Chain A
Amino acid sequence: MKVNAHPDDGQPVIVVEGLVNTFGEHAVHDGLDLTVRRGEILGVVGGSGTGKSVLMRSIIGLQRPSAGRIDVLGRCITESDLEQGIGVRRRWGILFQGGALFSTLTVGENVEVPIKKYYPDLDPEFRAEIARYKVMLTGLPEDAVQKFPSELSGGMKKRAGLARALALDPELLFLDEPTAGLDPIGAAKFDRLTRELKETLGLTVFLITHDLDTLYEICDRVAVIAEKKIIAIGTIPELIATGHPWIEEYFNGPRGRSAQATHMRGDSA
């Protein structure tokens, strides 16, 4: 017996080859290659405007690249029309930066939307039950299920967005700056939640972040975008060992140091 039929075999889940994204004259990506392995949490970092979000949007098919090939879960995204549905979409979940909850629906109804779309034959009561436990699985209180997004705080919106991303029990989870705008306690809790869910549900996580604590605490590998490419990918010590000036500054700056120190303390305790 297995969970979700995907052991941590290190098989590639996302393969990006030679990705080129240009907006007018301006190239955001030029020959970008990236591989995400099954069962890992991959953090993606880079300066503002280096195309982290554009990379994610390309992988999930919202942005058609100018050139290159992207395979997700063994299907080629770049050659198929997402609107027609290629079966991949029910196998991934996406948490957008602001949560992107449907504002006219309650949190519970938000979680029901993907279930209703892909499994319309399920009993409405059962669907509601699934939505409720998913919401509570992300650590929201029970009464949040019947609330509208406008009644929630920023952190609760992110959790609700995560519940919707997990609605179909995906294998692959995309998180776009999940801890941005959260207080340190909320951010740490969200990190822990991501890690727990990854371990319980056997997820592969593609995570864009600026949060150094998140990188140290939960990421198995980190990919650095700069100069229109992935300039380095690996564990944080491996990245620092490359000696690239930007990576050096990123991880050995004052914030990087303090995050590292916290991480060390956490390990020894």
Chain B
Amino acid sequence: MQSAAQYLLEDAGEGGQRLVLSGHLTLAAIGPLERALRTLETSVTAIDLAEVEEIDTVGAWVVLRVAREHDSAITGASPEAERLFAALRDIDAEGDTHPHRLPMWERVPLAVGEKVFGARGGVYGVVAFFGQILIAAASLLRRPRRFPFKALIHQMELVGVTALPIIGLMSFLIGIVIAQQGSVQLEQFGAEALTVNLVGRITLRELGVLMTAIMVAGRSGSAFAAQLGTMKLTEEIDAMRTIGISPVEVLVIPRILAATFMMILLGFFAALMAIIGGAVVGQFALGIPFFTFLLRIQEVVPTHDLWVGLIKAPVFGLIVALAGCFHGMQVHGNSEEVGRRTTMAVVSAIFAVIVLDAFFALFFTEIGWG
């Protein structure tokens, strides 16, 4: 094991002292010595290094610092140590390594102000993004041959077909839970038979579409943001622009259309799976035969419940896709931003979907589709 760095003070006359250092002046061994030298009271006129066994830049730095503070001469240094001194002599390392931080009374108003201005920029960004989409859509309508069919089909597969298993399973389980929990409550009024109404209406009107929208936001909205964000970082989108391809036309429009269309199908599929889940509970727990349950659905669920779900679905799909693409296209700077924007895309999409769902609920009740 290395012997620690040590020091000794000798009287050098004229009220000054000679600091004799010995041992290993290296990062591994210098800790205690550095602490002692920092609080040295007496004045040091000379530093003797003749007994030092080993020195690295940290040791040299400490020696130089003492020499600078006490204006003392260094003796007995080896050529190697001299080289280290020469490299370090002109460096002044006073200060801190942490980022600059403003005092609280400045930081808080600054953060609030930045948020306000950021919100203005955000609104501007959203409006500009809508504008870009409209322009791209108009130019595609004028030249339909440029329409990216392949990309659209590909995105429809990713958003729709590959989501079928997870959305099917999720809805099936939700149907089971609603039927089972609902029947327990309805039993108290002797109205178990109304479980069919409960499952049929709530899944077609509300849960089928809403849960699917949340799932699509998590699966596809996040993917849109991350894909487009990464493409912005790797300058793929800039490359497209320079070639004369509109990234909104080939990237954003197919994703938005795919999510809008597939949400209709997925929402309907989710409602069906939930009803099947309810029917399974009916068969095994409520004593309603499976097919009787399905037939009863036809009788007790008004057709407008289906329309409510089918009207909401594309709107939710549009919102999820818009949020994903918008945040993806806003990425700039570093990879951290991709993660931040992906999170924002999912959170804002789900929030907007739920707020809109509340408005839809009031609206449809008001027009008599209650």
Which residues of A approach B to under 8 Å, CB–CB? Answer: 1-5, 103, 106-109, 111-112, 115, 119, 121-123, 126, 128-134, 136-137, 142, 145-148, 150, 166, 168-169, 196, 199-202
Whether B54 and A2, one on each chain, are in contact in the complex, defined by CB atoms closer than 8 angstroms, is yes
Mostly helix, strand, loop or mixed at chain B's interface?
mixed
Whether B56 and A169, one on each chain, are in contact in the complex, defined by CB atoms closer than 8 angstroms, is yes
Report the bound CA distance from A115 to B97 in whole Å: 13
Whether B98 and A2, one on each chain, are in contact in the complex, defined by CB atoms closer than 8 angstroms, is no
Whether A1 and B91, one on each chain, are in contact in the complex, defined by CB atoms closer than 8 angstroms, is no
Which B residue sits closest to A167, measured CB to CB? B27
Which A residue sits closest to B2, measured CB to CB? A5
Query: If A119-B27, A136-B93 touch, does A5 touch B98 (CB 8 Å cutoff)?
Result: no
Whether B54 and A5, one on each chain, are in contact in the complex, defined by CB atoms closer than 8 angstroms, is yes
The answer to whether the Cβ of B81 comes within 8 Å of any Cβ in the partner chain is yes
Whether B28 and A119, one on each chain, are in contact in the complex, defined by CB atoms closer than 8 angstroms, is yes
Known: A123-B35, A137-B57. 11 other contacts (CB 8 A): A3-B80, A3-B81, A4-B26, A107-B97, A122-B31, A123-B31, A126-B31, A133-B57, A136-B91, A137-B88, A199-B83
Report the bound CA distance from A166 to B88 in whole Å: 14
The answer to whether the Cβ of B368 comes within 8 Å of any Cβ in the partner chain is no
From the candidates B38, B52, B94, B334, name the one contacting A150 in the complex (CB within 8 A): B334
Whether B95 and A145, one on each chain, are in contact in the complex, defined by CB atoms closer than 8 angstroms, is yes
Which A residue sits closest to B49, measured CB to CB? A1
From the candidates A1, A4, A109, A123, name the one contacting B34 in the complex (CB within 8 A): A123
Q: Give the chain A neighbours of B98 by CB distance below 8 A.
A: 106, 108-109, 146
Report the bound CA distance from A4 to B38 in whole Å: 24
Q: Give the chain B neighbours of A137 by CB distance below 8 A.
A: 57, 87-88, 91
Whether A1 and B57, one on each chain, are in contact in the complex, defined by CB atoms closer than 8 angstroms, is no
The answer to whether the Cβ of B53 comes within 8 Å of any Cβ in the partner chain is yes
Within B344-359, which residues are at the interface with A (CB < 8 Å)? none
> Smallest distance from the beta carbon of A107 to chain B beta carbons, Å?
8
Whether B35 and A201, one on each chain, are in contact in the complex, defined by CB atoms closer than 8 angstroms, is no
Report the bound CA distance from A134 to B84 in whole Å: 12
Mostly helix, strand, loop or mixed at chain A's interface?
helix
Report the bound CA distance from A133 to B94 in whole Å: 9
Q: Give the chain B neighbours of A199 by CB distance below 8 A.
A: 83
The answer to whether the Cβ of B78 comes within 8 Å of any Cβ in the partner chain is yes
Whether B91 and A133, one on each chain, are in contact in the complex, defined by CB atoms closer than 8 angstroms, is yes
Report the bound CA distance from A195 to B32 in whole Å: 33
**Minimum-distance CB pairs A-B, first 7:** A108-B97, A132-B93, A3-B80, A169-B56, A1-B78, A133-B93, A136-B91
The answer to whether the Cβ of B96 comes within 8 Å of any Cβ in the partner chain is yes
Report the bound CA distance from A108 to B95 in whole Å: 11
From the candidates A122, A145, A166, A169, name the one contacting B97 in the complex (CB within 8 A): A145
Whether B87 and A169, one on each chain, are in contact in the complex, defined by CB atoms closer than 8 angstroms, is no
Report the bound CA distance from A123 to B26 in whole Å: 15
Whether B27 and A1, one on each chain, are in contact in the complex, defined by CB atoms closer than 8 angstroms, is no
Report the bound CA distance from A131 to B49 in whole Å: 24
Whether B100 and A2, one on each chain, are in contact in the complex, defined by CB atoms closer than 8 angstroms, is no
Q: Give the chain B neighbours of A196 by CB distance below 8 A.
A: 87
> Smallest distance from the beta carbon of B366 to chain A beta carbons, Å?
51
Q: Most chain-B CB neighbours within 10 Å: which of A1, A106, A111, A131?
A: A1
Encoded as 1 (CB less than 8 Å from any A CB) or 0, chain B from 1 to 43 comes to: 0000000000000000000000000111001001100100000
Report the bound CA distance from A62 to B363 in whole Å: 61
> Smallest distance from the beta carbon of B349 to chain A beta carbons, Å?
27
Encoded as 1 (CB less than 8 Å from any A CB) or 0, chain B from 83 to 107 comes to: 1101110011111111110000000
Q: Give the chain A neighbours of B77 by CB distance below 8 A.
A: 1
Whether B97 and A106, one on each chain, are in contact in the complex, defined by CB atoms closer than 8 angstroms, is yes
Report the bound CA distance from A147 to B49 in whole Å: 36
Query: If A1-B81, A3-B80, A4-B56 touch, does A146 touch B93 (CB 8 Å cutoff)?
Result: no
> Smallest distance from the beta carbon of A9 to chain B beta carbons, Å?
14
Whether B27 and A109, one on each chain, are in contact in the complex, defined by CB atoms closer than 8 angstroms, is no
Which B residue sits closest to A107, measured CB to CB? B97
Q: Give the chain B neighbours of A103 by CB distance below 8 A.
A: 334, 336
Q: Most chain-B CB neighbours within 10 Å: which of A3, A5, A119?
A: A3
Q: Give the chain A neighbours of B49 by CB distance below 8 A.
A: 1
From the candidates B27, B50, B54, B91, name the one contacting A3 in the complex (CB within 8 A): B54
Which B residue sits closest to A1, measured CB to CB? B78
From the candidates B50, B61, B80, name the one contacting A2 in the complex (CB within 8 A): B80
The answer to whether the Cβ of B58 comes within 8 Å of any Cβ in the partner chain is yes
Query: If A123-B34, A129-B61, A137-B87 touch, does A1 touch B95 (CB 8 Å cutoff)?
Result: no
Q: Most chain-A CB neighbours within 10 Å: which of B57, B80, B83, B100?
A: B57
